[in-house]
Chain A
């Protein structure tokens, strides 16, 4: 596809369950980012992958959150033992490289609702 693809588009889960969110970046983009947007808030950085380098996990809010990326393709964001405060839109973005002049291309997001 031409853009960043995220699935599912919507996810409703019960508190305490685990969820897995998927992101397919634009082919050839070496950098991949996960952000989340809570209601009425800005985009909050979660994690960043660049090529084969160790990911920057500095934005992950707790050890319940983890993410993996296979090479320079698909990434999955896993949230274990979900809490109501995890409800948000989770956005994935990719870029050709992580420098200026290579803006982020975002997917449409996964809206997660924890009941």
Chain B
């Protein structure tokens, strides 16, 4: 029973264009969402987060959108750069805590030159 779903295993985007990574969740109790980025042979690194009281959070080239009614969130990266090529994990938690984070399977983003 996957509570956090990233249905696209991979995504290829041209450098300079917008990358949109999607994440769906089933547990309506989730109230805090995070995106992590992972390079090969390294651990995931925190990228951006959003609380359920917001519908958008922006940090530089990265923006996360939350649609609670659809139980959907997305990460937008614009403009996409070669260094953005990585696996992106969506994660969710109940009560805003970092304990018990539920992760999706990840989307491998490939930025084409």
Seen from chain A, the residues whose Cβ lies within 8 Å of a Cβ on chain B are 4, 31, 33, 35, 40-45, 48, 50, 56, 91, 93, 95, 98-100, 102-109
Q: Which segment, of B12-20, B56-64, B102-110, faces chain A?
A: B102-110
Complex interface: chain A residues within 8 A of B4 (CB): 42
Q: In the bound complex, do residue B100 and residue A104 qualify as a contact, i.e. CB atoms below 8 Å apart?
A: no
A44 and B42 CA atoms in complex are apart in Å by 17
Q: In the bound complex, do residue B98 and residue A98 qualify as a contact, i.e. CB atoms below 8 Å apart?
A: yes
Q: Which of A4, A42, A102 contacts B98 (CB under 8 A)? A: A102
Q: In the bound complex, do residue B41 and residue A100 qualify as a contact, i.e. CB atoms below 8 Å apart?
A: no
Residue of A nearest to B47 (CB): A103
Q: In the bound complex, do residue B103 and residue A43 qualify as a contact, i.e. CB atoms below 8 Å apart?
A: yes
Closest Cβ of chain B to A29, distance in Å, is: 11
Complex interface: chain A residues within 8 A of B97 (CB): 98-100
Other A-B pairs beyond A31-B99, A45-B100, A103-B98, 10, CB < 8 Å: A42-B4, A42-B103, A43-B101, A91-B44, A95-B98, A100-B96, A102-B98, A103-B34, A105-B45, A106-B44
